[in-house]
Copies of this chain bind each other. A is one copy, B any other.
Amino acid sequence: MADTYVLVHGAWHTGAEMEATAQFLRERGHVVHCPTLAGNRPGDDRSVIGLADAVDSLAAFIEQQDLKDVRLVGHSYGGMVISHMPHRLPGRIRRLVYWNAFVPLDGQCLNDMVPPHYRELFDGVAAANGQAVMLPFPIWRESFINDADEALARSTYALLNPHPYRTFTEPAVLPQPLAALEVGKSYLNAQQDTALPHSLPWHPRLSERLGLFRLVECAGSHELCFSNPSLLAAKIEEAGRD
């Protein structure tokens, strides 16, 4: 059955990095969009763009395309953005799929959910780089794309773009708790994802904030879009279907 998917990238990524996964979903018969959020586009001013701007840009995309019954997938930081859509676009979102993604409480920012050593690292990098943050390669290689070989780790690192730090520090505004939402909710968890340490994990720590939700899991790191996009597409479909 042809379903409509919107895949929302994480920090340091753009929609282009979701295209390999999208193509596998299209081969399964679905309509798939991969927008790039405000803040990660070429020429965006990383010193001023915050979470509300990214939220606005996604809402505008879905409205302009007039998408309905959307299965809205958010990766990592993308979870901060998709969490705003059911309230913002009533009637358009059929299911939220969090793929190793942040699930905020009202008033929480992304930095509230990461370990202190990440906040310290990001603070320092952002202060030195006009409020744009990059991830050091050793963290990318060991903690984000641990299932890849070195060549893939390096070629994908070269694709990343500086990320506007205000999107990590600006709080989510959620008039209704996510657990109370009527839309479907799924959490897709790659089991070897150590972008968050397993002592402070994605699942069940953040996933259970969704109330009733569907768990889907598979092997892999935080960056399945690079290391195994066909598996990722299959699991997004298991998470996104009715």
Is the Cβ of B241 less than 8 Å from the Cβ of A149?
Answer: yes
Is A40 located at the chain interface by the 8 A CB criterion?
no
| Smallest CB gap from A237: residue in B | B149
- Stretch from A26-34, A58-66, A164-172, A198-206 that touches the partner: A198-206
A: contact size bracket: 20 to 34
- Stretch from A44-52, A72-80, A122-130, A212-220 that touches the partner: A212-220
Is A143 located at the chain interface by the 8 A CB criterion?
yes
Is the Cβ of B192 less than 8 Å from the Cβ of A199?
Answer: no
Known: A199-B204, A212-B142. A150 touches B192 (CB 8 A): no
Is A131 located at the chain interface by the 8 A CB criterion?
no
Task: Fill in one digit per residue for A167-209: 1 if any B CB lies within 8 Å of its CB, else 0.
Answer: 0000000000000000010000001101001110001110110
Task: Fill in one digit per residue for A210-236: 1 if any B CB lies within 8 Å of its CB, else 0.
Answer: 001111110100000000000000000
Knowing that A146-B214, A147-B238 are A-B contacts, what are 13 other residue pairs whose CB atoms are under 8 Å apart, sorted by A's residue number? A139-B212, A142-B184, A142-B214, A143-B212, A146-B215, A149-B241, A191-B217, A192-B215, A194-B215, A197-B204, A198-B203, A198-B204, A217-B219
Interface residues of A (CB under 8 A from B): 138-139, 141-143, 146-147, 149-150, 184, 191-192, 194, 197-199, 203-205, 207-208, 212-217, 219, 238, 241-242
